[in-house]
């Protein structure tokens, strides 16, 4: 809601969710190959390939968040909005039980990174 008469801005997270979904799928695949035939307390749990996959996911999400935060701050400056309000509750992702699929798509997204970027660029 704005006091300038502009419609509120809603950013869809579809692209970020798809990046995260691909990461979860590939990590599961590589982990199953790595852990094949091993006991739960035996052998390595990560590899260079999984670390590279994790780094690639982080950089892609960071890139999208930079673009989104820039767009939000630019819109706020154009409309001369003096306050940007973003909702976030403390511990809102801890111990959520929405099922395996929904937990993967919601809990593993770094919302605080986007909030930090918007805060930094708005100041």
User: pLDDT tens-digit profile of 102-114?
Assistant: 666 666 788 889 9
The model's pTM: 0.79
SS3 string, 4-68, reads CCCCCCCCCCHHHHHHHHHHHHHHHHHHHHHHCCCCCCCCCCCCHHHHHHHHHHHHHHHHHHHHH
Selection from 82, 90, 83 nearest residue 112 by Cα:
90
Place of tokens 């989104």: 68
> 4-46 pLDDT, tens per residue?
777 777 888 899 989 999 999 999 999 989 888 787 777 778 8
How far is residue 45 CA from its own chain's centroid? Answer: 23
Q: Is the pLDDT at 87 greater than 90, yes or no?
A: no
* Closest C-alpha to 6, from 65, 70, 77: 77
């Amino acid at each position: 809601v704005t006091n300038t008469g502009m419609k509120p801005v809603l950013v869809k997270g579809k692209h970020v969710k798809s990046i995260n979904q691909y990461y979860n799928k590939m990590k599961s695949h590589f982990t199953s190959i790595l852990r094949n035939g091993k006991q739960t307390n035996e052998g390595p749990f990560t590899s260079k390939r999984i670390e590279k996959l994790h780094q690639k996911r982080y950089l892609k999400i960071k890139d999208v968040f930079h673009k989104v935060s820039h767009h939000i701050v630019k819109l706020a400056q154009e409309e001369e909005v003096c306050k940007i309000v973003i909702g976030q509750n403390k511990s809102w992702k801890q111990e959520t039980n929405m099922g395996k699929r929904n937990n993967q798509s919601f809990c593993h997204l770094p919302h605080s990174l986007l909030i930090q970027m918007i805060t930094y660029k708005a100041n």
